């Protein structure tokens, strides 16, 4: 009989926890197919949803990250999130399953580029309890409320987390800012009439008559 050391048992339980979550389909079904809604109406739908699915959570994450969702299928959203490291292929999440708070926390953390503490960087980097430690970070940053990582996400909770994550990203200047469109610099000694607007080319000032 193999006897595991205390450290080995802890690592085993962490790995088991990492593989769990989002394991049951949602029983409640909405009156409208949320995948057909534009982004604004989709977010309004989320506010009233009693439980959020993985598919809905993935779409919400793309809206948070990019300001819009340009994908048309769950597979496209999954591929985009996994390519960017926001979601992990090892999770093997099903679109109709309920989204848990650990998974949501991990995705928000990746989008917000929150570094995290020692446990998250030590164990999370190798896939051990990364979602559980990510939730701790979201609680610490006041983006998500205290809860178990395996608890399912309600629609209102997701909308609240999106709003707080958006404010966090603005505060830390993570959004790209469009450069100011300035007019060309006038030649030395040119009169004030030479200055052009940002949208029009400079023109030679009118010459005074004889």
Least confident of 18-27, 30-39, 81-90, 130-139: 18-27
Tokens coding 54: 């993985």
Nearest residue to 143 (alpha-carbon basis) of 169, 119, 120: 169
pLDDT digits (tens, 9 = 90+) for 149-190: 999 999 999 999 999 999 999 998 887 655 555 555 556 665
Domain residue extents for the chain: 28-171
pLDDT digits over 101-139, tens only? Answer: 999 999 999 999 998 655 545 544 445 588 999 999 999
Check pLDDT > 50 for residue 2.
no
pTM equals 0.72
CB 128 within 8 A of CB 16: no
For 94, the 3-state DSSP assignment is coil
pLDDT at residue 13 is higher than 70: no
Nearest alpha-carbon partner for 22 in 48, 45, 56: 56
Task: Give the per-residue pLDDT at 174.
Answer: 81
């Amino acid at each position: 009989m193999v006897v595991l050391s205390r450290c080995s048992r802890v690592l085993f339980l962490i790995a088991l926890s990492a593989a769990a979550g989002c394991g049951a389909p949602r029983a409640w079904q909405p009156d409208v197919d949320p995948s057909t809604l534009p982004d604004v109406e989709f977010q309004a739908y989320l506010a009233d949803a009693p439980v959020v699915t993985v598919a809905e959570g993935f779409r919400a994450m793309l809206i948070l990250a990019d300001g819009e969702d340009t994908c048309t299928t769950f597979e496209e959203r999954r591929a985009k999130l996994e390519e960017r490291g926001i979601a992990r292929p090892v999770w093997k999440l099903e679109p109709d399953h309920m989204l848990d708070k650990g998974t949501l926390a991990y995705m928000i953390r990746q989008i917000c580029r929150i570094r995290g503490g020692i446990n998250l960087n030590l164990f999370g980097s190798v896939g051990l309890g990364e979602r559980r430690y990510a939730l701790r970070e979201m609680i610490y940053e006041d983006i998500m409320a205290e809860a178990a990582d395996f608890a399912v996400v309600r629609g209102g909770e997701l909308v609240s987390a999106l709003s707080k994550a958006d404010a966090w990203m603005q505060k830390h200047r993570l959004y790209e800012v469009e450069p100011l469109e300035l007019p060309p610099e006038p030649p030395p000694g040119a009169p004030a009439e030479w200055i052009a607007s940002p949208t029009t080319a400079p023109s030679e000032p009118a010459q005074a008559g004889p």
